[in-house]
Structure 1
Amino acid sequence: MALLESAAVGEGSRIWAFSHVLPGARIGRDANICDHVFIENDVEVGDRVTIKCGVQLWDGVRIEDDVFVGPNVTFSNDPFPRSKQRPETFVQTRVRQGASIGSGATLRPGVTIGARALVMDGAVVSRDVPPNAIVAGNPAHITGYVDTPHVDLPGQVSSATRAVALPADSLPQLSVARATLHRLPKIVDLRGALSFGEIGSHLPFQPQRFFMVYDVPSREVRGEHAHRACHQFLVCVKGSVGIVVDDGQHRDEILLDSARLGLHIPPMVWGIQYQFSPDAVLLVLASDTYSAEDYIRNYDEFLAAVKEAKAAAGAQA
């Protein structure tokens, strides 16, 4: 009962009733195209993709492998559509490998949904979604990260997985390689409180630079990069901010909410800062002066660099 005009459909793919696939469309292996789906000509669908009922994939849509597209998700390919005026080329909208899009979500033309990201039901996506991010709302904003456990810290609300609260002076070990939490001293008297850090005792490197981040709208995300050689030490001196660290294999999320808590992010660890409180002031100490060449700002490039470093280390072993 489907109308299949394309010959480029991979082995094992199934196309269900009342769907229409135009001649130029390309569909990979083991895809599942459910009822009432329309796929235009300039569309690419990868392997093991699921397209649920009521979805239209217009020219310019690119769906990579292992993507899930929920019921009635809306794609568009023209930022200023006008009747009977067809643009020379349509804007490309891309959904990267392993991403999931919940039912009723809307994607504006030209956005990219990052690998393994999750778009929640009904979200309206008007900007690119980073890899592994969870977005919700209208306009969509980041609410968390996939497969990124929250690290329980003393004084913070423990997760359901931890039955016993951490001792006051205990800090957990992070799963991300070489990233570490540090407890800074606190001295209190009638004049107020003082916290400090000493190189060697608290800071694992000699700082060459510092900067502060503040007045950040709560829905904005900062960071989203790694350094090739620079170490960073983060202290939220006022308010709170969520930090995600990622070594390419493991991720951790930490809430920095005390001037007594420092986070060391070593080179080749991806860092993200988000969920700033309105009064948040984040102090960052860096081991090197600013160098644009030291930054890795693309997550795919970061993963490739991590893989290359591991291969080089294995060759030397």
Structure 2
Amino acid sequence: METLNAIQLLEIPVVADASGNLGIIQSDFLPFNFKRIYYLFDVPSTAFRGGHAHIDQQEVLIALSGSFEVTLHDGTEKKRYLLNKPNIGLLIPKGIWRELENFSSGSVCLVLASDDFSEEDYIRDFDEFLNFKK
């Protein structure tokens, strides 16, 4: 089972130019091939997102704009990350509980996921998650 030690902050390659920066994510950049891309936006600052773990899916979260906090739990320990740079991705391996909160105004969270959506891959109850990790 994965632990917090498997979580990584990935530095996304950027081509800097006087006319603006270009962030590049190619298939060989991630430790998985992404099958789904989605994004969260217009999230109220008091809203709470996530609140689940995936059985098999891996994800990378990127704050394209603004900031938000991600709390990750491996069944034993938890760690909090502030995402606020569009050139940093947070790699979340399978079997890690995640909670997203404290979204700044105008924030956008981009998610690169290793699989298509499948409700069967979600663990949405924290007690079930703890049992899964045992």
Shorter-chain TM band: over 0.9
What is the TM-score of this pair, normalised by structure 1? 0.41
Shift of 1:185: 1.5
What is the letter of the counterpart of residue 98 of structure 2? Answer: G
Q: Does 1:178 align with 2:6?
A: yes
Q: Give 2:49's aligned residue.
A: 222
Shift of 1:256: 0.5
Which deviations, in whole Å up to 9, do the C-alpha atoms of 1:148-174 show, x marking residues without a partner?
xxxxxxxxxxxxxxxxxxxxxxxxxxx
CA contact (8 A) 1:218 1:276 kept: yes
Q: Give 1:305's aligned residue.
A: 132
Residue ranges of structure 2 left out of the alignment (5+ in a row): none
Q: Does 1:256 align with 2:112?
A: no
Q: Give 1:199's aligned residue.
A: 27
Structure 1: which 4+ aligned runs deviate by more than 2 Å?
Answer: none
* Cα distance between partner residues in 2 of 1:232 and 1:226: 11
Show the 5 A alignment for 1:270-281.
Answer: 270-281=97-108
* Cα distance between partner residues in 1 of 2:9 and 2:99: 16
* Cα distance between partner residues in 2 of 1:185 and 1:288: 23
SS of 1:197 mapped into structure 2: coil
Which deviations, in whole Å up to 9, do the C-alpha atoms of 1:227-283 show, x marking residues without a partner?
000010111100001011110111110100011100011110001100000110000
* Cα distance between partner residues in 2 of 1:190 and 1:258: 19
* Cα distance between partner residues in 2 of 1:261 and 1:251: 20
Show the 5 A alignment for 1:50-89.
Answer: none
What is the TM-score of this pair, normalised by structure 2? 0.95
Shift of 1:186: 1.7
Which deviations, in whole Å up to 9, do the C-alpha atoms of 1:46-90 show, x marking residues without a partner?
xxxxxxxxxxxxxxxxxxxxxxxxxxxxxxxxxxxxxxxxxxxxx
Shift of 1:184: 1.0
* Cα distance between partner residues in 1 of 2:11 and 2:17: 19
What is the letter of the counterpart of residue 282 of structure 1? Answer: C
Q: Does 1:246 align with 2:106?
A: no
Q: Give 1:114's aligned residue.
A: none
What is the letter of the counterpart of residue 183 of structure 1? Answer: E
* Cα distance between partner residues in 2 of 1:304 and 1:180: 25
- Give the total of aligned pairs: 132
SS of 2:6 mapped into structure 1: coil
* Percent of residue pairs identical: 38
Shift of 1:190: 2.4
Shift of 1:178: 1.3
Of structures 1 and 2, the one with the larger relative CO (CA 8 A, separation 6+) is 2
* Cα distance between partner residues in 1 of 2:43 and 2:93: 24
* Cα distance between partner residues in 2 of 1:204 and 1:236: 19
What is the root-mean-square deviation in Å for CA atoms of aligned residues? 1.1
